Amino acid sequence: MRIRVVNPNTTAAMTALIGASARAVAGPGVLVEAVTSAMGPASIESHYDEALSVPGLLAAVAAGEADGVDGFVIACFGDPGLDAARELARGPVVGIAEAAMHAATLLGRGFSVVTTLDRTRGRAWDLAARYVAAGACRGVHACAIPVLALDADPHLADRVTAVARLALDQDGSDVIVLGCAGMAGLCDTVSSRLGVPVIDGVAAGVLLVRSLITLRLSTSVHGEYARPPVKEYAGALSGFAQGDSANSPVSRGSRAM
C-alpha cells in the first residue's frame, strides 16, 4: 500500500519531520512517501498563503495519481485543497485537521486545539464546525510561534505544554489536538506531562487513510466529488485544465469505481 503525505508548503525540512511522524505509525506493508509542494508559500499562516498553496498541492496529488499511489494525507492543519484533491484522487484523501479532530471525539468529551499564530485560529474553528459536533471543540489557542520557527525553538515543548495546560483548564477539555504539522514530534512529551491524549494529525491521518484503503473504500464519485468538468484554464494555471493530459500537472488515469 502506498500513501503519499503531501506538505502543501515548500519547506523540505518540515516534510522530513512530517515523513518521520507518518512512518513511525504506518506499520508493515505501508510505503509512506512524504513530498513537498513544488510551488507556493514556504509556510501557511494566512488565508492568502492557504489559497496559493492549493495549486502545488493539486499538482502533487496529480503526480501521485500518475504514480498509482493508493491514498493521500494533506499535511497542513488548514486542510488546504481537501475537496479539490478528492475530485482528483482515486483513493481516499484526508486532511490532518480532519483526522485529528475526528480522533479527538473518540477519546474524550471535548478537545482544545493548540496552534501556531493567533490569526490561524479562525480557520481551525471553521474546520471544527465542519468536521465535528457543536461543542466537541472547546477552544483554539495559539502559542505565538511562526511555523518556520517551530523546529528551531529550544523551548517549543515547554511553550506548547504551557498553552495546552491553560487550554485544558480554561476550556474544560480533556484532549489536545496539535494545530500544525510542524508539531508532529511533540505528542509523547506533551501527553506525558499533562496526562491527557495529545493528537498529531499527521499520524492520525496516515492511519485513517490506511484503514480506508484496507476497507477498499474511497471518495464517492456519485455527486460533488465527481471528476472536475473539462474546460479551459487560462494564464499561469492553463496546465491545470482537466483532460489536457499532454502537459497538465493534474491529468490522471481513470477512476477505479
Q: Which is nearer to ligand 5HY, 123 or 210 (CB)?
A: 123
Q: Which residue in 4, 5, 6, 9 binds ligand 5HY (CB under 6 A)? A: 9
Minimum distance from residue 8 beta carbon to ligand 5HY (Å)? 7
Please report whether residue 115 would count as binding ligand 5HY according to CB under 6 A: yes
Q: How far is CA 105 from CA 132, 204, 213, 220, in A?
A: 8, 13, 22, 24
Residue 66 or 117 with smaller CB distance to ligand 5HY: 117
Q: Taking the complex as a whole, how short is the minimal distance between the CB of residue 180 and ligand 5HY, in angstroms? A: 4
For the CB of residue 53, give the shortest distance to ligand 5HY in the complex, in Å. 8
- Return the ∠ at Cα 117 (arms to 38 and 159), rounded to 5°: 110
User: ∠ CA(83), CA(243), CA(248), 5° rounding?
Assistant: 80
Query: In 12-129, which ranges are E strands?
Result: 31-36, 71-74, 93-95, 111-115
How far is Cα 56 from Cα 253, in angstroms, rounded to an integer?
Answer: 19
Map the footprint of ligand 5HY across residues 165-224, applying CB under 6 A. Answer: 180-182
Closest approach of ligand 5HY to the CB of residue 253, in Å = 29
Q: Which of 26, 73, 76, 213 touches ligand 5HY (CB under 6 A)?
A: 76
Closest approach, Cβ 127 to ligand 5HY, in A, equals: 10
Instruction: Tell whether residue 10 is a contact of ligand 5HY (CB under 6 A).
Output: no
The Cα–Cα gap between 241 and 229 comes to: 9
Q: Which is nearer to ligand 5HY, 1 or 25 (CB)?
A: 25
**140 binds ligand 5HY per the rule CB under 6 A:** no
Nearer to ligand 5HY, 69 or 100 (CB): 100
Query: In 87-160, which ranges are E strands?
Result: 93-95, 111-115, 137-142
Q: Which residues ranging from 22 to 61 are in contact with ligand 5HY (CB under 6 A)?
A: 43-45
Q: Which of 59, 89, 147, 177 binds ligand 5HY (CB under 6 A)?
A: 147
Q: Tell me the three state secondary structure of residue 39.
A: coil
Maximum distance among all Cα pairs of the chain, rounded to whole angstroms: 56
Tell me the CA end-to-end span of the chain in Å, nearest whole number.
Answer: 18
Residue of 19, 40, 78, 81 interacting with ligand 5HY (CB under 6 A):
78
Contact 249, 62 (CB under 8 A): yes
Closest contact distance (angstroms) between CB of 45 and ligand 5HY is 5
Helices and strands, number each (H, E), in the chain:
8, 8
Q: Are 49 and 122 in contact (CB under 8 A)?
A: no
Interaction site with ligand 5HY (CB under 6 A): 9, 43-45, 76-78, 115-117, 120, 147, 180-182
